[in-house]
Structure 1
Amino acid sequence: MKKKLFQTLNINVKEREAIVIFCNKVEQSLENCYFVDKEGIAFEELKDLQNDYIIITKETMDEKVSLKDQVIRKDVIDAILKTQKTLKDNYGVDVKEVLIQNQSRLDIKTSEKWQIYLTTDFNLDMQITKLNLLLKEEITEEVRKKLQYIDLRFKDRAYYK
C-alpha cells in the first residue's frame, strides 16, 4: 500500500495461488479438500477434486481443518515441489499423490504408479541426487514399468524394488 500526493492511495492485491490440494483421509475416501498455497496454508475449500494438482493427505489427521490453518509445513511443500520438478523435467513423470506418514516421512506416488519414500530429517538435495543417479544409471524406463518403490530415507543407501 502506498500513499501518494493529492490523497491518492494505491493498493496492490496479489491473489493467493493454489500449489497443491490437501484432503482429510476418512477410511478409504477423501473428504474436506482444500487448496493450499506455497506456505502450506489452506485457503479455499473444494467441492470437487481437480486432477491438475498434487493431492496430499496425512496418515494421522485427527483435528478439523479450518481456512487459514497451516495444514502442511513449508519444508514439506518445498520437498514435494522439488521432487515434482526433478521428475517432470528429467523423466516426464508426474507426482500424483503424497501421503505424509508422520513428521518426517513422505510417500510420493507417481503417475507411473511407483512410489518414492523421502524423509525431511536430512538433506533433501542429497535424496534428489540419489533419485537422479538411480533413474539415470540403474532404473531404466523398462525397469520403471515394474518398479514398486524407491526408498531414499537413509543417508548412505537407496533401495528400490
Structure 2
Amino acid sequence: MDRTKIEPLILPLVDALNGTGLVETCSSCQAHFDGEDPGLGYGGEHANVGFNRRDGVEEPELTKLFVRIFNELQYRDHDECGTDFNIYKEFLRTLDDDGNCTIEEVYWFRVWPLSAVEAAAEKREAVAATLGLLVEIVQKLRRVDG
C-alpha cells in the first residue's frame, strides 16, 4: 500500500495494524461526510481498513487479536464514542484472462457513526475518537505480545 495515498486520519491505524506483524493492509478510507467526495462511488460515511493475513499467519492468531480488541473496547466503554465498530472477512473473486478464478480473503475494520442525523463535524469527531482508541489498543496489544 502506497503510504502517500493513505488519508491522514486513518494512517495511524494502518501503521498499528501493519506493526502487529500479523497483517498487511491493502485498502483504507478515513470516512467522508456532508458532500465530501472520497471518489469511491459510495457514500463513504464510515472509516475502514482492509487487510490480508501475512504469509505464515493462521486465522486463529487473527481471531485472538480481534477478541482482545473487542474486549479492550468493552473495558474502555467504547459505546460513549457514538460509533459502531465491526470486524469481518470478505471473500473476493477475480478472474484472470484465461477465465481462472481466484478467491482472496480480505478482513475489514469498519467504524460507523451511530447517528445518521448528527452534523458532519460530530460524525467526523466520533469516528476520529474511535480510530484513536483502536490505535491505542492495537499498539498496546503489540507491546504486550512483542
- Structure-1-length-normalised TM-score: 0.30
Greater relative contact order: 1 or 2 (C-alpha under 8 angstroms, separation 6 or more)?
A: 2
Greater share of strand residues, 1 or 2? 1
Q: Which has the larger radius of gyration?
A: 1
Q: Which has the higher helix share?
A: 2
